[in-house]
Structure 1
Amino acid sequence: MSLILVIEDETQILSNLQEILELADFSVIVAEDGIIGLQLAKRKNPDLILCDIMMPGLNGYEVLTELRQEPKTADIPLIFLTAKADRNDFRQGMGLGADDYITKPFEPFEILQAVKARLERHSISNQAYLKESQNTEILQQEIKKNRTELQNSQQLAQIRGNLLEKFSQDLRNPLSSINMAIYMLKQAKDEKNREKYLSILKEAYTQELDILNEVDSLQELLTAENTKLLRNYKLLGD
Structure 2
Amino acid sequence: MTKILIIEDEQSIRENILELLNEENFEAIAVENGSKGVQLAREKKPDLIICDVSMPELDGYGVLQALRSEPATAMIPFIFLTALADKANNRKGMELGADDYLTKPCRPVELLNAIDTRLKKQATINQQQSQKLEELRSSITFSLPHELRTPLNGILGFSELLLTELDTLEPEEIKEMVEQIQTSGNRLYRLIQNFLLYAELELIATNSERIKALRNYQTDHVDSVISHQATQQAQQAHRQADLHLKLEDTQLNISPIRLKKIVEELLDNACKFSVPGTRINIVSQVVNNSFILSVSDKGRGMKTEQIDSLGAYMQFERKLYEQQGSGLGLIIVKRIAELHGGSLTIESIPDQQTTVKVILPTN
Instruction: Quote the residue 1:14 is aligned against.
Output: 14
Instruction: Quote the residue 1:146 is aligned against.
Output: 146
Q: d(CA) in 2 for partners of 1:129 and 1:101?
A: 26
Matched ranges for 1:15-164 at <5 A: 15-159=15-159, 161-162=161-162
Relative to structure 2, which stretch is displaced further, 45-54 or 140-149? Answer: 140-149
Q: d(CA) in 2 for partners of 1:48 and 1:124?
A: 14
Q: CA RMSD in A?
A: 1.9
Q: Kindly state the Cα deviation for residue 103 of structure 1 after the two structures are TM-superposed.
A: 1.1
Q: Kindly state the Cα deviation for residue 160 of structure 1 after the two structures are TM-superposed.
A: 6.1
> Letter of the aligned partner of 1:43 in structure 2?
E
Q: d(CA) in 1 for partners of 2:152 and 2:42?
A: 49
Matching of residue 5 in structure 1 with residue 5 in structure 2: yes
> Letter of the aligned partner of 1:4 in structure 2?
I
Matched ranges for 1:194-213 at <5 A: none
Unaligned ranges ≥5, structure 1 = 170-238
Q: Kindly state the Cα deviation for residue 168 of structure 1 after the two structures are TM-superposed.
A: 5.0
Q: Kindly state the Cα deviation for residue 48 of structure 1 after the two structures are TM-superposed.
A: 0.6
Q: Partner of 2:4: helix, strand, or coil?
A: strand
Structure with bigger helix share is 1
> Letter of the aligned partner of 2:153 in structure 1?
S
Q: d(CA) in 2 for partners of 1:156 and 1:40?
A: 56
> Letter of the aligned partner of 1:150 in structure 2?
T
Q: Partner of 2:101: helix, strand, or coil?
A: strand
> Letter of the aligned partner of 1:63 in structure 2?
V
Structure with bigger strand share is 2
Instruction: Quote the residue 2:176 is aligned against.
Output: none
Q: Kindly state the Cα deviation for residue 161 of structure 1 after the two structures are TM-superposed.
A: 4.6
Q: Partner of 1:109: helix, strand, or coil?
A: helix
Number of corresponding residues: 169
Residues 160/40 of structure 1: CA separation in 2 closer, same or farther (3 Å cut): closer
TM-score, normalised to structure 2, is: 0.44
Q: Kindly state the Cα deviation for residue 36 of structure 1 after the two structures are TM-superposed.
A: 1.6
> Letter of the aligned partner of 2:78 in structure 1?
L
Q: Partner of 1:76: helix, strand, or coil?
A: coil
Q: Kindly state the Cα deviation for residue 155 of structure 1 after the two structures are TM-superposed.
A: 3.1
TM-score, normalised to structure 1, is: 0.65
Q: Partner of 1:73: helix, strand, or coil?
A: coil
Q: Kindly state the Cα deviation for residue 153 of structure 1 after the two structures are TM-superposed.
A: 3.0
Unaligned ranges ≥5, structure 2 = 170-363
Q: d(CA) in 2 for partners of 1:33 and 1:148?
A: 54
Q: Kindly state the Cα deviation for residue 9 of structure 1 after the two structures are TM-superposed.
A: 1.1
After TM superposition, the runs of 4+ consecutive aligned structure 1 residues lying more than 2 A away are: 140-143, 159-169
Structure with higher Rg: it is 1
> Letter of the aligned partner of 1:145 in structure 2?
P
